[in-house]
Structures are given as structure tokens and as C-alpha cells.
């Protein structure tokens, strides 16, 4: 039996999460799965993500390989996917989401509030979204921090703290857990202070839309709650017409209320990188027990919250429009 070819980026994190998906696919299909390493433009460019387009820079090469028939499926970090789904590709599964929160790795095991109170501290992150909210949080505490744009893999970023170049870095909790570096975390940043990126902590499994059999098999890995939540978040992002490197944050939480309905709270934020202006709003509503109806409700909530945020001036704070 021919192995299924699973395309993945070459980074340690990408290989780890793709390996986990490969094992699930093996269990689900009974077929062997081999990882095919693919280098994306985002992996080789040393420029900041906002300078190289942000949206899709870690995705395009994998999608090209799918369309060329070089691989059978691809695994992405969902937060890297452009919000528009190509007709030729199926988003076959969104597995159970890992913790979506951001994590602080700081010198001397300091929390963010204790660190900020010291004054003059340097916090590294590659995300304008994190910069905006970290700076706003520091301002709310009567403190100022310097956010430093950084690139590189997890080891490189943590190394900035261990070597004393930076006082702290902020990374996704999900990635640290997937590569076994959770013990490095100083503090899990509360979502009330720092909302994650839309789709953060979730993975996306794509295959060719024309491969109906594989699409159906992979659908068994889909987690409805995760898909509903990230659909609301990504609809908000799309309605704001922002790319994945814009300072837009979103998080949807679902809570079951019996068999007939689930309550979802959707929070969104957008701000200037220096934290001087921040629009942060939320909405709560019921989503139907039927997955298709729930997805429709999730999209409606995402669009409605985006409209409220735009009415509050969000468009002028993003700094980047979708390309």
C-alpha cells in the first residue's frame, strides 16, 4: 500500500505537530504515512513578516505541492492560513485545539507584571498583535516596556532570554507544549490581557478537494467545537480585511448547554503597536447543536463583532490591509 505523503515545514515545531497528525492518520486509515519536508518562503526569508507579506508566507509552498500532486495532505498552523479557502483545496480537518494562550518566558522566573514594574525591560516577539497588547497592558499598569521584533525558531527565541539579550520573549503555549518545552514557561498570559491570534493553537489539515475519499477519511480527525470556534475568529479577521500579521486578536469560547444549544463568547481586539490605542470588544450568543447551523451562527457572530469594532475605529489601528 502506497504511503500517504504528508507535507510539512522543516522546523522542529512543524515536524513535531505533523508527526502527531501523521500518527492519527495512520490510526484512522490503516495506511502508512511519510513526512515530506518542504521549505516555505517564510522559512528562508530573514525579513520581518510584515515586510514579506505575512499572509500565506508559510503556506503557499505546501499548497503548491498539494496542487502539483507531490503530496497527499498538508498540515498547517491554522493561524498561518489566509482566510480565503481555495476551491481546489479542502480544509478536511481541524483537530482538537491545544491551549490557545500566549506564554511568557522571562528571566528570573518573573511574571509580566513584576517584569514591567522594573522599568526599561525588553520583551521580544515577532507579532504586532502581541506588541500592541503587551504595550497596552504595561500602560494600564503605569509602566513602559520596549517590545523588540524577533524572528527565528523556538530555541533561538528562548536563547535571547537565556543569553541576557532580552528580558523576556512571548511565544504560543501550544508550540511549546508540542515540542516538550512547556517547563520553560514563566507565566501563561491571561486572555483578558493578551488575546491570541485567530486560530492560535489549532492545526489545519488540507488535501485536494478532488480527492473525496481522502477528504472523508480525514474528516474523522475534525473536532466540531474547535472548527466552530476558529470559524468565528477567522470570520472576524476576514471581515476586518486584515492579514495574519496585522495586530488583530480573537478568541471564541464555547460552553455546552444541553443537547439543543451551545453558548459561544467571541472576543476581539486590535490596536496600535505602541499600545496607545486598543479596541477590544466581545459578544455572546447561542449556536445551534447542528454543526452546519453552528458554523453559520459563528460566521454571523464574527461579522457582527467586526462591524462593531470597525465602528469603534479598528480600521485605523491595524496598519496592514490584506494583500
Q: Which residues are catalytic?
A: 79-80, 129-130, 151, 157, 244
Residue 31: Cβ-neighbour burial (10 angstroms; 0-12, 13-18, 19+) = middle
Residue 300: Cβ-neighbour burial (10 angstroms; 0-12, 13-18, 19+) = middle
Supply angle C-alpha 218, 223, 226, rounded to 5.
Answer: 130
Q: Where are the alpha helices (DSSP H) in 103-167?
A: 112-118, 128-140, 154-162
Picking from 257, 266, 252, 240, the residue whose alpha carbon sits closest to that of residue 320 is 240
* Angstrom distance (rounded) from CA 300 to CA 295: 9
* Angstrom distance (rounded) from CA 323 to CA 308: 23
Q: Which residues are paired to 195 by β-bridges?
A: none
* Angstrom distance (rounded) from CA 169 to CA 107: 9
Amino acid at each position: 500500500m502506497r504511503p500517504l505523503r504528508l507535507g510539512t515545514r522543516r522546523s522542529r515545531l512543524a515536524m513535531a505537530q505533523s508527526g502527531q497528525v501523521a500518527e492519527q492518520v495512520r490510526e484512522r486509515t490503516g495506511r502508512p504515512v511519510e513526512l515530506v519536508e518542504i521549505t516555505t518562503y517564510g522559512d528562508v526569508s530573514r525579513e520581518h513578516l510584515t515586510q514579506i507579506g505575512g499572509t500565506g508566507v508559510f503556506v503557499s509552498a505546501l499548497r503548491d505541492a498539494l496542487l502539483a500532486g507531490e503530496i497527499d495532505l498538508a498540515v498547517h498552523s491554522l493561524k498561518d492560513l489566509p482566510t480565503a479557502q481555495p476551491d481546489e483545496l479542502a480544509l478536511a480537518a481541524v483537530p482538537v485545539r491545544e491551549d490557545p494562550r500566549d506564554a511568557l518566558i522571562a528571566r528570573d522566573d518573573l511574571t509580566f507584571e513584576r517584569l514591567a514594574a522594573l522599568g526599561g525591560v525588553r520583551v521580544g516577539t515577532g507579532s504586532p498583535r502581541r506588541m500592541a497588547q503587551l504595550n497596552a497592558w504595561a500602560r494600564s499598569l503605569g509602566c513602559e516596556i520596549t517590545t523588540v521584533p524577533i524572528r527565528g525558531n523556538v530555541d533561538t527565541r528562548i536563547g535571547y532570554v537565556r543569553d541576557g539579550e532580552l528580558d523576556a520573549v512571548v511565544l504560543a503555549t501550544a508550540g511549546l507544549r508540542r515540542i516538550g518545552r512547556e517547563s520553560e514557561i514563566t507565566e501563561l498570559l491571561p486572555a483578558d490581557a493578551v488575546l491570541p491570534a485567530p486560530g492560535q493553537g489549532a492545526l489545519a489539515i488540507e488535501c485536494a478537494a478532488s480527492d473525496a475519499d481522502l477528504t472523508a477519511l480525514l474528516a474523522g480527525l475534525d473536532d466540531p467545537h474547535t472548527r466552530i470556534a476558529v470559524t468565528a475568529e477567522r470570520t472576524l479577521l476576514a471581515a476586518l480585511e486584515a492579514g495574519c500579521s496585522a495586530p488583530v486578536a480573537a478568541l471564541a469560547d464555547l460552553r455546552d448547554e444541553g443537547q439543543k444549544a451551545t453558548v459561544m463568547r467571541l472576543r476581539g481586539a486590535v490596536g496600535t503597536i505602541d499600545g496607545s490605542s486598543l479596541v477590544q470588544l466581545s459578544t455572546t450568543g447561542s449556536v445551534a447543536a447542528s454543526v452546519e447551523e453552528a458554523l453559520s451562527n459563528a460566521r454571523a457572530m464574527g461579522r457582527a463583532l467586526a462591524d462593531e469594532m470597525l465602528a469603534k475605529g479598528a480600521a485605523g489601528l491595524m496598519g496592514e490591509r490584506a494583500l
